[in-house]
């Protein structure tokens, strides 16, 4: 999958090195407020999530969200899309 660019953000494939940041976020009460997550998750839990996500079909794998930061990019979140119709009508 190619990187999807916007003016100030981009979506790219999630990489193993992103898991550490995701682990930090999933254990932050401000991030998980309103989600069905109420118990802390270990790094092993997050690694297992990454492995399961990596085995999904390409259309259903999570994407990393990055914003432009100077000359580079900064990871700010992730998302997953389901049931995308990729055929242009």
In tens, the pLDDT along 40-71 reads 999 999 999 999 999 998 888 999 999 999 99
Share of the chain above pLDDT 90, in %: 70
Question: Cβ(68)–Cβ(9) under 8 Å?
Answer: yes
Confidence of residue 1 (pLDDT cuts 50, 70, 90): low
- Name the percent of the chain lying above pLDDT 70: 97
What pLDDT is attached to residue 9? 97
Q: What is the pLDDT of residue 38?
A: 82
Q: Is the dihedral of CA 55, 61, 67, 73 positive or negative?
A: positive
Does residue 39 contact residue 32 with C-beta atoms inside 8 Å?
Answer: no
Q: Where are the beta strands (DSSP E) in the chain?
A: 4-5, 9-13, 63-69, 72-79
CA distance 9 to 69: 10
């Amino acid at each position: 999958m190619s990187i999807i660019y916007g003016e100030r953000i981009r979506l790219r494939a999630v990489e193993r090195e992103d898991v550490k940041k995701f682990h930090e976020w999933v254990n932050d009460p401000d991030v998980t407020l309103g989600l069905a997550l109420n118990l802390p998750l270990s790094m092993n839990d997050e690694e297992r999530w990454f492995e399961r996500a990596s085995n999904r079909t390409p259309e259903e794998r999570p994407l990393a969200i990055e914003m432009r930061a100077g000359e580079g990019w900064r990871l700010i979140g992730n998302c997953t899309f389901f049931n995308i119709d990729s055929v242009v009508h």
